[in-house]
Amino acid sequence: MPLVVTVMLGVAVAFQLIRFVNALVEALIVVPLTISAGGDEFESNLTFSRETLSFRIGDVPFSFREVVSSGLALLALLLVALLALRLLRRVVASCPDCGSLVPVSATVCHACTADLGPPTSTTQAPDTVD
């Protein structure tokens, strides 16, 4: 089960990263090349809209809305992935002998039958001062 969650989060982050890079390339490379190919006709017609986060130079839109929205979605997805992996660390540990994932409460590895010792607690009791 933990492997499935890790793979799903990895695929989601990869697709969101591709979306972000595509939006960034579109905004920073494709549109300026289109504008520069137009010559002098674009220089006199520049408008900016704060509501849509976009420039319009002549008839060519130069928008940052997709870059900002995909960047924020990527950051949110990375935060969820980080929190999920931290939660996963509390539930699953790796066997020191074979490296397979075993529950933290396990005393014997299911793959290589190595003794893992007593189960470790995920929360430790506070130290008492006498």
Asked whether the whole model's pTM tops 0.75, one would answer no
pLDDT on residue 124: 45
pLDDT (tens digit per residue) in 5-55: 788 888 999 999 999 998 888 777 776 676 666 555 555 555 666 666 677
- Asked if the model's pLDDT at residue 113 lies above 60, the reply is yes
Compute φ and ψ for 94, nearest 5 degrees.
-105, 145
Between CA 112 and CA 70 the distance in angstroms is 44
CA angle 35, 38, 44 (to 5 degrees): 80
Of residues 70 and 58, the one with the higher pLDDT is 70
What does the domain layout of the chain look like in residue ranges? Answer: 2-93, 95-130
Quick one: pLDDT at residue 125? Answer: 43
Q: Which residues contact 50 (CB under 8 A, 6 or more apart)?
A: none
pLDDT above 90: percentage of residues in the chain: 10
What b/e readout covers 104-121, taking b as 16+ CB neighbours within 10 angstroms? eeeeebeeeeeebeeeee
